[in-house]
Amino acid sequence: MNRELKEATDEYIRVMSDVLSTNEEVNAALQPCFKALPDSNEDDVNEFMKHVFSLSSLQDIERASLATTICGYLIERGFPGEAILGDFIDLYDSLLNKALPFYKILFYQLSKIDPEDEERNEKVDELYSDLINDKELVSDEVYVAITGLDKFYACGISLFSINKQNFYKAKERLQEKVAYVGNYNQGCYWFSKLFDVLFDEPVVVIDIDNKVGFTGKISGIADNYQLQHLLMGIPQLNNGGKAINDEDLAVVNGSGEQITERSIESKWNMYNLELCAEPEWKSIVGNKENPGLSIAYRDSWIWSEGTPKDITIHNGYRVILLGIPSVSRSSRVQRTFKNLKAGIEIERELSADEIDKWLNHTI
């Protein structure tokens, strides 16, 4: 590590570790580190990040959380994060293991509350509060673990969404556990959402009315709003042009800003292939005079609030059918995960005969 960065790092570690130091002193000690980082090589940055991440073991959880936040901040700005990948996975896995007994008790108690009870939400909140504050049930170590799952997750989102390699390493270790507690822990909820994302997933996309389509792969798409907006940017589905402007397309593919105040109107209803087993579906789904009739087939809809993982698979492909919209729908131009690049790769355009075979269930 170069001298300037090493001296700044050592001083920052000292100040952060001093229980008597103030937040102002901590912030002041961080600035020389930030000043030295742009002129440092990758090995020096990796060493800095490992030193800072080691502070996640501090007893002061706010300071420990700050250390991971700094690492996440640097990753989001293009600095390498592989140096702390294994350490973060180990940390979060350890927190999950310590917290899981609490969640097992919580879920057992929740099972006693009637799902139809009008006061269920209030009772769930009260039960959670009672359990988390039960000192006989929840030791200090377990309480810190439960709290840490929320305090540390943002760094992990940055780290795991930056590339597929990090994503798969984290998913293999953490997916099952974060899915288990995701409904009652914010950090685990967002990890569970991230781990539902598909990469290099084979798809068939067919515009029912214009009889055009293709086979290809989708990657990095967090929800079906994003899926629709990306499809609106494909010339083969939009008469050789786009139904979304370049600025909005950059938002949804991950190359532009993450969140905007702009809205965009959806172009299609999206359907699963099961639509084609419904009687009279062609005449009803294609009824331009009364497009609302297609609500009769809502069980076949690909819901915008869902994810590509919900789309059904046929012959190894998730099949996406596009029809005229039943109602006007607008949604904000944004993406869920800042660093996650999303895209649709076209491998081959479908012939008219192939499209007919898909729509008639003969493939």
Give the whole-angstrom CA distance, residue 13 versus residue 30. Answer: 9
pLDDT, tens digit, 9 for 90 and up, residues 66-108: 999 999 999 998 888 999 999 999 999 999 999 999 999 999 9
pLDDT, tens digit, 9 for 90 and up, residues 5-59: 999 999 999 999 999 999 999 999 999 999 999 989 999 999 999 999 999 999 9
Q: Which amino acid is at 220?
A: G
User: Is the predicted pLDDT of residue 310 greater than 90, yes or no?
Assistant: yes
At 196 the pLDDT is 97
User: Is the predicted pLDDT of residue 362 greater than 90, yes or no?
Assistant: no
Q: What angle do CA 48, 51, 56 make, to 5 degrees?
A: 130
Kindly calculate the radius of gyration of the chain based on its CA atoms and give it in whole angstroms: 25
Query: How many Cβ atoms are within 10 Å of 82's Cβ, its own excluded?
Result: 16
pTM of the model: 0.92
Q: For residue 312, give the 3-state DSSP assignment.
A: coil
User: Is the predicted pLDDT of residue 1 greater than 80, yes or no?
Assistant: no
At 287 the pLDDT is 78
Sign of the C-alpha dihedral computed for residues 257, 75, 200 and 314 taken in this order: negative
Give the whole-angstrom CA distance, residue 318 versus residue 154. Answer: 31
User: Is the predicted pLDDT of residue 321 greater than 70, yes or no?
Assistant: yes
Tokens of 217: 């792969």
At 291 the pLDDT is 81
Measure the CA dihedral 178/91/308/223, to 10°: 100
Contact call for residues 58 and 16 (beta carbons, < 8 A): yes
Of 273, 282, 297, 300, nearest to 363 (Cα)?
A: 273
Contact call for residues 163 and 150 (beta carbons, < 8 A): no
Place of tokens 């504050």: 133
Instruction: For residue 363, name the pLDDT band (cuts at 50, 70, 90).
Output: low
pLDDT, tens digit, 9 for 90 and up, residues 171-222: 999 999 999 999 899 999 999 999 999 999 999 999 999 999 999 999 999 9
Query: How many Cβ atoms are within 10 Å of 127's Cβ, its own excluded?
Result: 15
Give the whole-angstrom CA distance, residue 17 versus residue 54. Answer: 11
pLDDT, tens digit, 9 for 90 and up, residues 104-158: 999 999 999 998 888 898 999 999 999 999 988 899 999 999 999 999 999 999 9
Of 319, 336, 305, 316, nearest to 221 (Cα)?
A: 336
Query: How many Cβ atoms are within 10 Å of 287's Cβ, its own excluded?
Result: 15
